Amino acid sequence: MKIGVFICYCGENIGRTVDCAKVAQVAATFPGVEHSEDYKYMCSDPGQNLIKQAIREKNLDAIVVGSCSPHMHEKTFRKAAASAGVNPYLVEIANLREHCSWIHENVEEATAKAIDLVRIAVEKVKFNEPLTPIRVPVTKRALVIGGGISGIQAALDIANAGYPVTLVEKEPSIGGHMSQLSETFPTLDCSQCILTPRMVEVYQHPNIHLMTYSEVEKVEGFIGNFKVTIRQKARSVNAELCTGCGLCMQSCPIKKKAFSEFDEGLAMRPAMYVPFPQAVPNIPVIDRDVCTYFKTGKCMMCQKVCGRQAVDFEQKDTFITEEIGSIIVATGYKLYSIDKKPEDSFIKGYGEYGYGKYKDVVNGLQFERIASASGPTSGEILRPSDKKEPKKIVFIQCVGSRDESKGFSYCSKICCMYTAKHAMLYKHKVHDGEAYVFYMDIRAGGKMYEEFVRRAIEEDGVKYIRGRVSRIYEENGKYIVKGEDTLAGVPVTIDADMVVLATAMMAQTEAPQLAQMLGVPYDKYGFLAEVHPKLRPVETSTGGIFLAGACHSPRDIPESVAMASAAAAKAMVLFGSDMLEREPIVAKVNAGTCAGCLYCKKVCAYNAIEVKEIRNRQGELVKVVAYVNEGLCQGCGTCNATCPSKSIELIGFKDEQIFSEIHALADMY
């Protein structure tokens, strides 16, 4: 076997700590090495050409590249080798950057280690076999989890490209938080006016299968071949018979027993309800926790008035299973709780602002509802406690955000903008009112964003005070806001009529469970993680699963929409081909020696081990053996380590390859 060794300096990344020329020189003396050289940027075009040229000139059979992590450039070098006629799986990477130069300082020692790493790779590559990628079919149907603006956008993009989409939303209607907003920054256009046409488009789209009041129950399979079980929660209304006339809701005697989720608890709703008049689908649902029938077995008013006999108290949760090729997660966010300190949570709440003790201390979404024409006050700015117009209002930014002692170190990103918008809306509606904003910094990066904030300050006369608020208490019907003006260096006291807290955006409570179900990593806050923060911002480390919107991190509407379209594009890339190529690094069973103990099946985390019957020519069962489903196998090697009879091997990491690596290292000492 003729092996070529190529040592990369990675500019200064490796070259500063490792004597690359020396590594190449020493490698040239290793048995089997026919060619060895070093170059400043091996991943560059000229660098790759060096490899191709050497392969052609010296008839090399295998390649070892001493460079960065295989995560970065293994593909690059495999491609280069393949184009010169060497099987891509006869390329091995010695990681001289992450495993060596970046973590050491002493040049001599680092160089010695680099030589070891290259020697190990050379010994391994001698046992590498030519492999061909596994091809699996792709199911061209997407699943979008979450029906807010991100999910809606992703579903529409994919559906418009001609692929079928299943859109799952846990609430009775799609629309998400955006449907609750009054106006949107920086243009002040009405949120519902721009959103509802999209919602209707989703409903009517022939390629979209909309499942509201549903939740994803189980996800199996892998990229291109997911099997997803969805729970359709019992609506207690037959969706096919219901015309959405609304008679049932009017007849429901339980009008004021439940807080409206849509109005953020500022209004009540009946037990039989649609979240808001423009709901999609316009099919009501019975809240079984408050419905009289479900508590006492009596009432049934809604059933009596329904001309279509659509009310079905006996309805049960149903489950459907879908074959899915790609999943887009768009589950959104929730707000930091100001009401109370959640139990067993690292969130500490804001007792000093009154823990929901004071009715007129509201959060950002509640103020959206108050300012919204469809809200409980029909858009008039009235405080919740006595429905009077507040003449002095205080907005406090960064409530929960950028406050490590209260739980979150991160910036929620949207609050500077929406607070400016709130203050502006307030001033537009209460002309003689005074609006104060307490802020830490104003972060208004974005097209027309800074201009928007300046407009609030300069044109609408909103008073911005840089500083924090230490506490709020009630005195003679006023809310005494105690704060500090850190620019003037003086304490500030404002006797406000109403206070709006720009509470932090946080991950949905169920986000970690969903992430675990999908096999997607998440951070300590519960936000789902992308695979690369710069270059692969919507992809997750699990193939075929993409992220959109605030489930990834705090995001505003334009960003969520852009991200959703990006995720949709990624899914469509996948659907663009009929077959998907996968790495052939999978486990393989030697049926001859397998005793059928199936320990491997027990330890496999991916359900990739199946049972296969071996029969003789007469059709009699000889024995059962393990069999690897190459589509599911992730090549983790657990089965390989578990097998008592050494009957499973991991292609590309066979025992002889691992042992040759160990020998190569042991010989040194």
Partner 1 sequence: MSYGYYPGCSLSGTAKEFDISLKKVLQKLSVELTEIQGWACCGASSAHATSHILSIALPVHSLLLAKEQGLKEVVTPCAACYNRLVNAQHEMKDPSTRTKVETVVDKPYSNGLEVLNLIQFFNLLGADTIKAKVTEKLGHIKAACYYGCLLVRPHDVTGFDDEEQPRTMEAVVEAVGAKTVDWNFKTECCGAAHSIAHTNIVEHLSKKIIDDAIAHGANVIIVACPMCHSNLDMRQLNIIKSFPGQKTIPVLYLSELVGLAMGMSLKELAIDLHFIKADEILKPAEAVTAK
Site residues for partner 1 per CB under 8 A:
341, 349-352, 355, 357, 473-475
CB 47 within 8 A of CB 77: no
DSSP 170-202: SSSSS-TGGGG-SEETTTTEEHHHHHHHHHHHH
Strand order, beta sheet including 214-222: 214-222, 225-232, 318-324
In the complex, minimum distance from the CB of residue 352 to partner 1, in angstroms, rounded to a whole number = 5
In the complex, minimum distance from the CB of residue 439 to partner 1, in angstroms, rounded to a whole number = 22
Enclosing H/E stretch for 334: strand 333-335
Which one-letter DSSP state was computed for residue 336? Answer: P
In the complex, minimum distance from the CB of residue 480 to partner 1, in angstroms, rounded to a whole number = 8
Report the residue number, 495 or 613, with the smaller CB distance to partner 1: 495
Q: Nearest-CA neighbor of 397 among 443, 430, 349?
A: 443
CA–CA dist 280, 98 (Å, integer): 51
Report the residue number, 273 or 438, with the smaller CB distance to partner 1: 438
In the complex, minimum distance from the CB of residue 523 to partner 1, in angstroms, rounded to a whole number = 23
CA–CA dist 91, 56 (Å, integer): 15
In the complex, minimum distance from the CB of residue 382 to partner 1, in angstroms, rounded to a whole number = 25
- Cis link prior to 281 (omega < 30° from 0)? yes
In the complex, minimum distance from the CB of residue 339 to partner 1, in angstroms, rounded to a whole number = 12
Report the residue number, 79 or 478, with the smaller CB distance to partner 1: 478
In the complex, minimum distance from the CB of residue 350 to partner 1, in angstroms, rounded to a whole number = 7
CB 300 within 8 A of CB 272: no
Q: How far apart are the first and last CA of the chain?
A: 26
Which one-letter DSSP state was computed for residue 337? Answer: P
Which one-letter DSSP state was computed for residue 536? Answer: B
CB 437 within 8 A of CB 464: yes
Structure tokens at 593: 């020696």
In the complex, minimum distance from the CB of residue 349 to partner 1, in angstroms, rounded to a whole number = 8
DSSP 600-669: HHHH-TT--EEEEEEE-TT--EEEEEEEE-TTT-----HHHHH-TTS-EEETTS-HHHHHHHHHHHHTT-
In the complex, minimum distance from the CB of residue 482 to partner 1, in angstroms, rounded to a whole number = 10
In the complex, minimum distance from the CB of residue 266 to partner 1, in angstroms, rounded to a whole number = 22
Which residues make Cβ contacts (< 8 Å) with residue 139, sequence separation at least 6? 224, 225, 226, 323, 324, 325
CA–CA dist 369, 180 (Å, integer): 6
In the complex, minimum distance from the CB of residue 503 to partner 1, in angstroms, rounded to a whole number = 16
Report the residue number, 352 or 485, with the smaller CB distance to partner 1: 352
Report the residue number, 149 or 496, with the smaller CB distance to partner 1: 496
Distances (CA, A) of 210 to 224, 245, 426: 21, 20, 37
Report the residue number, 270 or 349, with the smaller CB distance to partner 1: 349
Q: Which residue has the tokens 């009008």?
A: 255
CA–CA dist 120, 166 (Å, integer): 49
CA–CA dist 507, 552 (Å, integer): 8
Structure tokens at 17: 């700590």
Report the residue number, 472 or 589, with the smaller CB distance to partner 1: 472
Report the residue number, 230 or 338, with the smaller CB distance to partner 1: 338
In the complex, minimum distance from the CB of residue 433 to partner 1, in angstroms, rounded to a whole number = 25
DSSP 417-458: HHHHHHHHHHHHH-TT-EEEEEES-----STTHHHHHHHHHH
Report the residue number, 41 or 355, with the smaller CB distance to partner 1: 355
Q: Nearest-CA neighbor of 202 among 255, 262, 149?
A: 149
Report the residue number, 349 or 554, with the smaller CB distance to partner 1: 349
Strand partners, 581: 135
Report the residue number, 405 or 618, with the smaller CB distance to partner 1: 405
Report the residue number, 137 or 351, with the smaller CB distance to partner 1: 351
